[in-house]
Amino acid sequence: MAPIQTVEAIPVAIDLTEPMHLASETIKQALNLVVKVVDADGVVGWGEAASAPTMTGETLPGMVRAVRDIIGPSLLAVPADDYDSVATVLCSIPGNSGARSAVDIAVLDIFAQRARQPLNEFLGTKRHTILPRIQMINSCAGDAQLAKAGALAEAGFTHFKVKVGQADASLEAAFVRNLRNILGPDPLICADANMAWDVETARQFIAGCDGCDLAYLEQPLGDGCVEDMARLAKSTPVALCLDEGLHAVSDIARYDEVDAAKGVGLKLIKLGGFRETLIAESVARQRGWQTTYASKIAETSIGCAATAHVASLSDNVGWGVSLTHQYLVNDIAATPLVSHGGRTIVPTADGLGVQPDEKRLNSFRLDL
Ligand SMILES: [Mg+2]
């Protein structure tokens, strides 16, 4: 590959179609970092990462500075002969996992284009061409969300994640029961408490969901509550899934050694890009865990295409894939991800397979 010539950090702000209520925060606007990398031959690669202070500790201004001052200059000094040498440099930079992830996606976009392969085939063995898309459901929005879920199920959606931890756990369990009644027995329903609960509250919710066939409960307790997660796991048949508690591949072993979880949500921003995320997938499978892939709320088709590529390499996508471009008022992509009903097609063009409309991108650009 020709040497990397420029690494540009482009901060953007894009409104969500409606606020997304999480236990830890309400998100009304995506504050994302888009990265444009150009090599000496003029090949352009694109990447993206949402800023997620409650997950990676990064704010958008900090991500911009990290790319401009640390990550970009370090890549310009690398002889870019192979992806491994670039990934090694990226992985050696401490912290900044979201910013590193955005750059990693853009660099891989170039490598895969030059190899004339879609990004997933450049990285490994593609196992899925179509992915089941998770639809988020706000439990606090009541009947309107139930009606929306019913309509989406009729349109082909099969995976629903209920955001809980915002009200009385018994009421939220009643919402899940109503959702199951509306959806019928087949669609997957899971719940995500985003660290809101203690063990007793989580048990109360799970008991209230008895008979609902809850596929998994994501991050019921706080980041680092390994022993309490183990206590909860012992007392429930519902699989617990790690999300905010994952910061490094080694966290999977830490939770597994005390049987504190049976699955993990993988996001590129949490582990700094593809290399560590693929290792996490492998380690999780070796331990008999399920994985579920997600873009942070909310990323455009650029970030979501990267998530789709890495998910397509997974052994099993039965827990679904959360692709969040659908929640934005405007997707800056000139070639957005294509979905039919609740299924998203993994891009098959060379590289990432998604590029922004640069005029539209600039219209959302922040001056940071
Ligand atoms: Mg989550």
Q: Per DSSP, what are the bridge partners of residue 49?
A: 33
Q: What is the pLDDT of residue 1?
A: 66
CA 113 to ligand 1 center in whole angstroms = 32
Q: Which residues pair with 218 in a beta bridge?
A: 192, 241
Determine the distance separating the centroid of ligand 1 and the alpha carbon of 260, expressed in angstroms. 16
> Which run of H or of E encompasses 291?
strand 290-294
Residue entry with tokens 């796991």: 233
User: What pLDDT sits at residue 275?
Assistant: 96
Centre of ligand 1 from the C-alpha of residue 261, in Å: 14
Ramachandran angles phi, psi of 48, nearest 5°: -155, 150
Cα(38) to centroid of ligand 1, in Å? 33
Ligand 1 center to 108 CA (angstroms): 26
- State the burial class of residue 28 (Cβ atoms within 10 Å of its Cβ: 0-12, 13-18, 19+): exposed
What is the structure's pLDDT at 316?
Answer: 96
Q: What is the pLDDT of residue 139?
A: 86
CA of 365 to the centre of ligand 1 (A): 27
Q: Which residues pair with 37 in a beta bridge?
A: 7, 45
Q: Report if pTM > 0.75.
A: yes
What distance in angstroms lies between residue 164's CA and the mean position of ligand 1's atoms?
10
Cα distance between the two ends of the chain:
31
Gap from CA of 216 to ligand 1 centroid (Å)? 11
Low pLDDT (below 70) residues in the chain: 1, 80
Q: Distance from the CA of 246 to the center of ligand 1, in angstroms?
A: 11
Tell me how far apart the alpha carbons of residues 145 and 148 are, in angstroms, rounded to a whole number.
Answer: 5
User: How close is the Cα of 52 to the center of ligand 1, in Å?
Assistant: 12
Q: Are 337 and 308 in contact (CB under 8 A)?
A: yes
Q: For residue 137, give the 3-state DSSP assignment.
A: strand
Q: How far is the CA of 243 from the centre of ligand 1 (A)?
A: 5
How far is the centre of ligand 1, averaged over its atoms, from the C-alpha of 322 (Å)?
10
- Kindly give the distance from the C-alpha atom of residue 94 to the centroid of ligand 1, in angstroms, as a whole number: 24
Distance CA 264, CA 253 (A): 11
**What are the tens digits of pLDDT across the range 146-203?**
999 999 999 999 999 999 999 999 999 999 999 999 999 999 999 999 999 999 999 9
CA distance 176 to 340: 25
Q: Give the span between the Cα atoms of 314 and 322, in whole angstroms.
A: 14
pLDDT score, position 25 = 84
Element (H, E) at 359: helix 358-363
Task: Quote the ligand 1 centre to 173 CA distance (angstroms).
Answer: 18
* Cα–Cα distance, 292 to 30 (Å, whole number): 22
128: left (phi over 0), alpha (psi -120 to 50) or beta: beta
Q: Which residue type does 198 have?
A: D
| Contact criterion met (CB below 8 Å) for 123 and 313 | yes
Write out the H or E segment, with its range, that includes residue 220.
none
CA 344 to ligand 1 centroid distance, Å:
20
* Ligand 1 centroid – CA 167 distance (Å): 17
**Structural domains for the chain:** 4-118+357-363 (3.30.390.10), 123-345 (3.20.20.120)
pLDDT tens per residue across span 295-329: 999 999 999 999 999 999 999 999 999 999 999 99
Q: How high is the pLDDT of residue 125?
A: 92
Distance, CA 191 to ligand 1 centroid (Å)? 9
- Which residues neighbour 269 within 8 Å (Cβ) at sequence distance 6 or greater? 49, 50, 52, 55, 56, 97, 98, 101, 296
